Structure 1
Amino acid sequence: VCLMREGHPLAAAPSLALADFAAASHVRVIAAGTGHGRVDEALERQGLQRRIRLTVPHYVALGDVLGHSDLIATVPERFAQRVTTPFGLTTRPLPLAVDGSVIHQFWHAHLHKDPGHQWLRSMVAQCFGDGTD
């Protein structure tokens, strides 16, 4: 989804036009495993490209950055659900189709039966999983 502050000029409409999305000032998260390359690829197929104004290495500060600027970010919907209320943000559907991302958990075999590690994996799955295995 597209994430922005509640008072952002693009937040006034219930949906985003593709041209408005491409012309907006974007924050891009460049971290291993993120799907931001997919957004740029989908825009390129439409003959467009985003105006990247800020690149950050992770999502941690994204809520604060968006809450105090007119930047927008393309983020996973589950992430957006967790930061909208605390930072006064809102979401809009992306105006283009983007392939989804899959996140997996991996651990060393010697930790497979460790009770603390099992608990941690279950909490990660409960908080961030989609209910499928």
Structure 2
Amino acid sequence: MATHGQRQLLRLTLQYCQHGGSSASMRSLISTNLKPFAVANPTLEIVVNNVNGKHPNVKGEYRTGWDKVVGVKNMEVNEIMNQIVRLNDSSGRKLTKFTKPVYPEQMSVQGRWTPGLDLGVEEFTIKEVNHVKH
């Protein structure tokens, strides 16, 4: 996701095991699909780490200082690519859970919208007003 014209994802780290079965799709992705993705995203730094004995994961590091780690154990190549694209399109901000209803500080002139308000059913007529000048 771009904010003020700058992509938010700075670094993408792919971690996999050279021998593990859960990393088979990750190894295939690195050898086939990673180069076209890197060419399409020249501002993104892509790091590939071989860590034997660990399950594969994808880590995105953002301008905000946050990072997101996604485990891709036993996923197919297209599923891993979907996770990479999702990290690339994300802003890196953590989600905020609202525990109370959010009400605006100032009410709208039009009134509060409710899901039951169906104005598509009502007919409106426009009356023409003639102004007479003397």
* TM-score band, normalised by shorter chain: under 0.3
Greater strand share, 1 or 2?
A: 2
TM-score relative to the length of structure 2: 0.27
TM-score relative to the length of structure 1: 0.27
Relative contact order, higher structure (CA 8 A, sep 6+): 1
Greater helix share, 1 or 2?
A: 1
